Amino acid sequence: MSTLYDYFWAADRATAVDWAVGPDGDWRSGGSLEEACADRLEVKGLDPNVVLGKLVSFAAGIPFGSVVDPELVWPDPVEWPYGRQAPPGTASPWESGLILQELPESWRDALAGVVEDAVPMLALQWWDIEETRFADYLHAEESVRTFVGMARRARSAGARLYCSCYV
């Protein structure tokens, strides 16, 4: 089974949850991100915590261990701590196969600040990490450009970046 990641930007957390999870809490019942016409990128194998985190570390010029982690938005970690038993007759959102994370504002800004001349070197660094395999260097370069463009549009709109992970 593959894990899919949807990266998108939204004005706020409530909007991100509504788009990614849906108003009824069952993301499988509709294509909220598609219906919302969200500026999004659907990918396989580019997880936010490590793979995108490494791109951010390259873009910011800092060690990967210094990169701030994304924050869990859904399931709500306060309302539904991981491992909490659901009351009888209620399904735990952890069993839904979806998590939603808000990427740090510093990630958005680091990616949005990438100058065109830096893209080829960033792509080469990112292409070389062991956690993912791009089809080729050009695929890595296109992915860098896509993330940089999305980050710039989000920053211009005063919005945040999000990642929904579907298992």
Write down the pLDDT at residue 87.
66
**pLDDT tens track for 24-51:** 555 555 556 555 556 888 888 899 999 9
**Hey, which bits of the chain come out as E strands?**
4-10, 40-44, 71-74, 98-102, 160-166
Write down the pLDDT at residue 103.
98
Write down the pLDDT at residue 98.
87
Q: Are 122 and 59 in contact (CB under 8 A)?
A: yes
Domain segments of the chain: what residues? 4-9+46-166
Between CA 158 and CA 160 the distance in angstroms is 7
pLDDT over 90 at 1, yes or no:
no
**pLDDT tens track for 65-114:** 999 999 999 887 777 666 667 667 667 676 777 899 999 999 999 999 99
H or E segment and range at residue 17? helix 13-21
Cα atoms in the Cβ-side hemisphere of radius 13 Å centred on 61 = 3
Could you check whether the bond before residue 87 is cis, i.e. omega within 30 degrees of 0? Answer: no
Write down the pLDDT at residue 23.
63
Residue 52 pLDDT level (bands cut at 50, 70, 90)? very high
Between CA 72 and CA 108 the distance in angstroms is 16
- Residues sharing a CB contact under 8 Å with residue 82, sequence separation 6 or more, in sequence order: 94
Backbone angles phi, psi at 120, to 5 degrees: -60, -40
Write down the pLDDT at residue 101.
96
Between CA 97 and CA 164 the distance in angstroms is 10
H or E segment and range at residue 125? helix 119-127
**pLDDT tens track for 114-166:** 999 999 999 999 999 999 888 899 999 999 999 999 999 999 999 999 999 98
